Amino acid sequence: MKLDIVTIFPDYFAPLDVSLLGKARQRGDVDAHVHDLRGWAHDRHRTVDDTPYGGGPGMVMKPEPWGEALDAIVPPGSSARLVVPTPSGRPFTQELAGAYAAEPWLVFACGRYEGIDARVIEDARSRMPVDEVSIGDYVLAGGESAVLVMVEAVTRLLPGVLGNAGSAADDSFAPGRMEALLEGPVYTKPPDWRGRPVPPVLMSGNHGAIARWRRDEALRRTAAIRPELIARNALDDADRRTLSE
């Protein structure tokens, strides 16, 4: 997967060199490049923002640097998808992360201030798919943190990035039988810690009973914390019995 990130704070993306993603980059599984938008701002102060038409607080990111940056990074006819983090975007979900993990090339545009001049998105849409995406119903100072979240959620799904390929399949919201359930509790050694034992079923070696217990815990957690998700799952009789307890 090819990733390009355009930002006025390139140092924000130092985390791309650590942990699983850093290893994926070293292996060449992820070809990530961070670009400083000011490289396409040609005045003496390398200005990237200006006052909003129509008045109002704050500043808006100028279209010219963005247009030149995207022209330079994404040649005409290439296969890139532009992703723009914004609180006014479509929700970023595990499903969308899975769709992005199948994309050959993602370009992330990190807005700052009050946002990017709308014509930048319009112009980009004339030559590539563009998604405006929100990681949640809150406002950040810029898109950089949202891009770090999305890049981690997407790249962990790429083959070979997670040490245990099955791990992603058991995630909360992972496609399949656990699709819209919150993951239940997990345990490791010691078997008893501060007088708190590990649930015995997890040490029984009975894989069917363990799978049932894990699903029951996920159902109970989801019903307690995110009851609106329950209806998104295909429930069997055992599930319904658990939820009726």
Ligand X SMILES: NC(=O)c1ccno1
CA distances from 58 to 19, 115, 126, 212 (A): 36, 9, 28, 54
Question: Which of 49, 143, 153, 219 touches ligand X by CB under 6 A?
Answer: 143
As a whole number of angstroms, the distance between CA 140 and CA 70 comes to: 23
> Residue 98 CB, nearest distance to ligand X (Å)?
18
Our finding on whether 134 is near ligand X (CB under 6 A) is: yes
Query: SS3 of 169, please?
Result: helix
Beta carbons of 146 and 9 less than 8 angstroms apart:
no
Our finding on whether 146 is near ligand X (CB under 6 A) is: yes
Binding mask 81-100 for ligand X (x = CB under 6 A): ----xxx-------------
Pick between residue 136 and residue 199 the one whose CB is nearest to ligand X.
Answer: 136
As a whole number of angstroms, the distance between CA 42 and CA 65 comes to: 8
Question: Which of 139, 186, 231, 234 touches ligand X by CB under 6 A?
Answer: 139
Stretch that binds ligand X, among 24-32, 96-104, 133-141, 175-183 (CB under 6 A): 133-141
Q: Which residues are catalytic?
A: 87, 114, 156, 171
Our finding on whether 140 is near ligand X (CB under 6 A) is: yes
3-state helix, strand, coil in the chain (%, to 5): 40, 20, 40
